[in-house]
Amino acid sequence: MLRTSRLLTTRRLLPHGYSQVACKRLQYAQYSHAARSAEGRPRVHAYSQDSLSGWLHSSGLLQHSPALRNAGPALLYQNALRYEPGTAISSTGALIATSGKKTGRSPRDKRVVEEASTVDDVWWGPVNKKLSGESFSANYDRAVSYLNTRERLYVFDGYAGWDPKYRIKVRVVCARAYHSLFMNNMLIRPTQEELENFGEPDFTIFNAGQCAADPHVEGVESETSVAISFERKQMVILGTEYAGEMKKGVFTVMHYLMPKTGVLSLHSSCNEGPDGDVSLFFGLSGTGKTTLSADPQRLLIGDDEHVWTESGVFNIEGGCYAKTIDLSAEKEPEIFNAIRFGSILENVTYNPLTHTADYSDCSITENTRCAYPIEFIPSAKVPCVGGKPQNIVLLTCDAFGVLPPVAKLTPAQAMYHFISGYTAKLAGTEEGVTEPEATFSACFGQPFLVWHPVKYAQMLAQKMQENNVNVWLVNTGWNGGAYGVGKRISLKYSRAIIDAIHSGELQDAEYSTYGVFNLQIPTAVFNVPAKVLDPSQAWEGTPEEFNTTISKLAHLFQANFKEYADKATPDIIAAGPRL
């Protein structure tokens, strides 16, 4: 039997691009995913199969053959290639899979069950639409009935949350090898001992995405339904095979449970510098969270979902889910090199002769993705935990081209922009979005909020005050003009700005006041043209066009904030744009 000691981490990056811990973790993961029998033949883990069979039976799943529990990548590759049309292996060893008709999340089809134990906690409305318990049961029965018709069922047991004090046990039941491998990458993979003693899950996802939902069920408005019951501790997926629904379902659960226990869940990426300084990056899909936090000079704690506790931060996930559109080794080497055996390329096209992925092709969707274990990033910090943050970066993708590439925020401005969550939805991240459109997403993650946004904002304000955190607004969107006229801010400029934040350069920089938004912008940043730093100077149209555009955006900010003004303090309201 394999014996392991608890893995320790190191802040120092080692040669050849691999941290010592990442190497150890990968070796252990490879063992646990492909243990060998005495005869030397690969076998699938079947720990407590009798217990699992009993649990499946009690859930209504009467499978004829044992479910494949925590199957390793090699077996999942084999089954995906054999039974799932459109699957292939890329030239670098990643599994290429397709998600069918749905290539992004379906937020309009998300439902939360109205239950006595949680009804007063949930922020009901467009984000959290109510579903009755009876309708959830109908969805559940439909999902289980479908899963019972499948020849193969996959079960993956893993954890959400790297801090043992706060983590939850998550079980995924699905009928596609692609989905099982995806959650193997995105959840925290248990050790052999942890799997043997996993017990009952704290939350279960029943993914019957190949089966359409029934629109005749009350509260179900299409053939897609993604429903969560906090009381039953279950999520049911129907009518969408997009794997990201599972990932964000787990985050939604943690986004409810963590504040309930007094700690702050965050839609953010996180990394740590050589001296232990921790930075959080807030932002929606396409704003640069994954890209900018994958810094070879800093340890990656996580790229998307975290929790801030009394002692520091921890990652919720065990992997990364990076956008791959226009991906290149030159621009994003760490992500590019993470695409290898064990990773999943989702909705990516490839050369039929060489199987080389074509990251420039968006014929299937703009929202092409890769899911990989976090240890595939050479600078990953495993376990994925860190100290208390010193810098917070609010990332936005401004489609109007009038927000500066970087501004230093006061505490009141930080709260205003956190609650506002302005960005542009980028093509493909949600069904029906084909070009960037201005939007406001409270707390930079409105689709995943369960509590009212002000609850998260108040908890963040308290953390910022207690830890004297620096907060920066960083625009990775357009410069020189609005979308269609200006250009997207160069990634090398955004990286230079983040480097200046971490080096302390921007702490000592000279600042000027930026007009309508009353922001403090630096007059110089190393390796960034001065003209780029001031959108009014970079603007390629007339001054009148600039003033009209910035006024339009300011009006949008003001109109959006009216929804939260009754619960915001006067200094936060005053921190917004002034016309």
**Burial group, residue 40, by CB count within 10 angstroms (0-12, 13-18, 19+):** exposed
105 carries an active-site annotation:
yes
Contact 546, 531 (CB under 8 A): no
User: Helix (H, G, I), strand (E, B), or coil: what is residue 264?
Assistant: strand
176 carries an active-site annotation:
no
163 carries an active-site annotation:
no
Maximum CA pair distance of the chain? Answer: 78
Q: Show the CA angle centred on residue 176, arms to residues 174 and 178, nearest 5°.
A: 115
Q: Which three-class secondary structure string do you get for 12-53?
A: CCCHHHCCHHHHHHHHHHHHHHCCECCCCCECCCCCCHHHHH
Tokens 């934040």, residue located: 501
Q: CA 547 → CA 481, 536, 558, distances in Å? A: 12, 9, 16
CA 88 from centroid of its chain's CA atoms: 25
Q: Which of 110, 179, 248, 463 is catalytic?
A: 248
Contact 500, 506 (CB under 8 A): yes
Nearest to 433 by CA among 442, 423, 420, 443: 423
Contact 219, 225 (CB under 8 A): no
Dig out the tokens for 350 from the structure: 């490839």
Query: E-assigned strands of 49-181?
Result: 68-69, 88-89, 95-97, 110-113, 129-131, 154-160, 168-174
Residue 380 CA to residue 294 CA, distance in Å, equals 9
290 carries an active-site annotation:
yes
Residue 293 CA to residue 281 CA, distance in Å, equals 7
Residue 12 CA to residue 381 CA, distance in Å, equals 10
For β-strands 519-522 and 511-514, DSSP reports them as antiparallel
Contact 411, 471 (CB under 8 A): yes
Dig out the tokens for 177 from the structure: 């090898």
Q: Which of 289, 381, 463, 502 is catalytic?
A: 289
340 carries an active-site annotation:
no
289 carries an active-site annotation:
yes
Q: Which of 109, 163, 304, 398 is catalytic?
A: 304
Q: Which of 105, 176, 179, 463 is catalytic?
A: 105
Contact 183, 250 (CB under 8 A): no
Tokens 């397709």, residue located: 98
Contact 95, 89 (CB under 8 A): yes
Q: Which of 9, 87, 135, 290 is catalytic?
A: 290
Residue 359 CA to residue 366 CA, distance in Å, equals 10
Nearest to 491 by CA among 291, 342, 313: 291
Q: Which of 32, 285, 293, 396 is catalytic?
A: 285
Active centre residues (catalytic): 105, 248, 267, 285, 289-290, 304, 369
